[in-house]
């Protein structure tokens, strides 16, 4: 039976969990309200998914399943404190909701946009974190190779 390798386009069902057991993402629906399940399709080696996820799929044959633990370095990298900044409230437009946990879209000078999360707020300032929400976290994925396209 053919096994997934570099350059193959594959379809994979997955469930991603934190080491605490909390599920943070899944390609499969767990209730009727979300509709039909759709496997994730990507090409191995194209950097469409995190390196540890890609490596976990290599060698699987259609129908096989595997659980992989992905270290921080093969996931979203370490949490970078340089991507956390405090902004004076006076620099924030009044119509912006600065509730902790809200996400904001920001634009760099070159025009590229990115997402930040408000992690703290006081009367004087708000703290913005541009790290990926899963940065600094070891991840566990249950993988099931549906097919090699």
Same domain, yes or no: 72 and 141: yes
Contact 144, 12 (CB under 8 A): yes
Query: What pLDDT, in 10s, does the model give residues 59-109?
Result: 999 999 999 999 999 999 999 999 999 999 999 998 999 999 999 998 888
pLDDT of residue 111: 87
pLDDT of residue 23: 94
Whether 122 is in a domain gets the answer: yes
Confidence of residue 2 (pLDDT cuts 50, 70, 90): very high
Could you give the CA distance from residue 66 to residue 82 in angstroms, rounded to a whole number? 36
- Which residues constitute the domain of residue 40? 9-77+134-148
CATH number at residue 103: 2.40.10.330
Alpha carbon distances (Å) from 42 to 9, 49, 119, 127: 5, 8, 32, 35
Reference 147, options 13, 6, 48, 28; nearest CA is 13
Whether 106 is in a domain gets the answer: yes
CA 15 to chain centre: 12
pLDDT of residue 109: 85
Give the total number of structural domains in the chain. 2
Same domain, yes or no: 17 and 72: yes
- The enclosing H or E element of 114 equals strand 113-121
Same domain, yes or no: 91 and 70: no
pTM recorded for the entire structure: 0.81
CATH number at residue 55: 3.10.50.40
Whether 86 is in a domain gets the answer: yes
Q: Is the pLDDT of residue 22 over 90?
A: yes
Alpha carbon distances (Å) from 120 to 63, 100, 108: 45, 6, 22
Reference 15, options 117, 143, 109; nearest CA is 143
């Amino acid at each position: 039976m053919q096994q997934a390798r570099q350059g193959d386009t594959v379809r994979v069902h997955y469930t991603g969990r934190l080491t605490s057991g909390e599920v943070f993402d899944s390609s499969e629906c767990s209730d009727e309200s979300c509709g039909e399940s759709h496997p994730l399709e990507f090409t191995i080696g194209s950097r469409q998914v995190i390196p540890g996820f890609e490596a976990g799929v290599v060698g699987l044959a259609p129908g096989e399943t595997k659980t992989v633990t992905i270290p921080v370095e093969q996931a979203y990298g370490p949490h970078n404190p340089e991507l956390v900044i405090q902004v004076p409230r006076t620099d924030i437009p009044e119509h912006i909701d600065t509730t902790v946990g809200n996400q904001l879209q920001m634009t760099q000078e070159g025009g590229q946009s990115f997402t930040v999360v408000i992690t703290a707020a006081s009367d004087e300032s708000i703290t913005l974190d541009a790290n990926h929400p899963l940065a600094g976290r070891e991840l566990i994925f249950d993988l099931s190779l549906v097919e090699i396209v």
